[in-house]
Chains A and B, each alone.
Chain A
Amino acid sequence: MSDVMAGQSAGTQTEQPAAPSGDKNRSLWGDVAYQLVRSPMFWVSLTLVLVILSMAFVPSLWAETSPNASGACQLENARQKPSAAHPFGFTAAGCDMWSSVVYGTGKSVIVAILVTIGTVALGVSLGTFAGYFGGFGDTLISRVTDVFFGLPFILGALVFLAIFPERNVWTITAVLTLFGWTSLTRVMRGSVISTKQKDYVDAARALGAGDLFIIRKHVLANSIAPVIVLATIGLGTFIGVEATLTYLGVGYQRPTVSWGLLVAEGQNLALAGYWHLLVIPAAFIVITVLAFILLGDVLRDALDPRTR
Chain B
Amino acid sequence: MGRYVARRLIQFMPVILGTLFLLHILSVLTIQIVGDPVRALFGENAPPASVIQQMRADYNLDDPCLKQTGNPCVGLFFDRLGQYGTGNFGINFRGREVTELFLERFPVTVRLTVIALVFETIVGIFIGVLAGLRKDKFADNFVRFSTVLLIAFPVFVFGTLAQLFVGLQIGLKLRESTWAPDWLGQMLNVVYSPDYPWLSLMLPGLVLGAFSLAAIARLTRTSLIENLRSDYVRTARAKGLSGPRIVGIHTLRNSLIPVVTYIGIDIGILLGGALVTEGIFNIPGVGQLVFLAIGANDTPVILGVVTILTIVFLVSNLLVDILYAALDPRIRYE
Chain A interface (Cβ < 8 Å from any Cβ of B): 1, 3-4, 6, 8, 10-13, 143-144, 146-148, 150-156, 158-160, 162-165, 236, 240-241, 243-244, 247-250, 260, 263, 266-267, 270-271, 275, 278-279, 282, 285-287, 289-290, 293-294, 297
Contacts and interface: CB of A to CB of B under 8 A. Distances in A.
A160 B190 contact: no
Contacts of A158: 275, 290, 294, 302, 306
Most buried by B among A151, A271, A290: A151
Given A6-B258, A159-B27, A290-B149, A150 B15 contact: yes
Interface size grouping (class) on chain B: 35 or more
B53 to A, nearest CB: 21
B157 A286 contact: yes
A158 B265 CA distance: 18
Which 8 residue pairs of A and B lie closest in terms of their CB atoms, listed nearest first?
A154-B272, A150-B19, A152-B268, A147-B18, A290-B152, A240-B154, A11-B231, A163-B30
Nearest to B14: A143
A293 B91 CA distance: 42
- Grouping DSSP codes into helix (H, G, I), strand (E, B) and loop, the B interface class, with mixed when no group exceeds half, is helix
A278 B306 CA distance: 29
From A154, A163, A282, residue with most partner B Cβ within 10 Å = A163
A6 B230 contact: no
Interface stretch (B69-77, B104-112, B309-317): B309-317
A279 B261 CA distance: 35
Contacts, number: 172
Contacts of A271: 163-164, 168, 190
B269 A1 contact: yes
B153 interface: yes
Nearest to B151: A293
Contacts of B314: 150
Contacts of B30: 160, 163-164
Interface of B: 14-16, 18-19, 21-23, 26-27, 30-31, 33-34, 37, 148-149, 151-157, 160-161, 163-164, 168, 190, 215, 218-219, 222-223, 226-227, 229-231, 233-234, 258, 261-262, 265, 268-269, 271-273, 275-276, 279-280, 290-291, 293-295, 297, 299, 302-303, 306, 309-310, 313-314, 317
A244 B19 contact: no
Given A156-B23, A159-B303, A163-B31, A6 B226 contact: yes
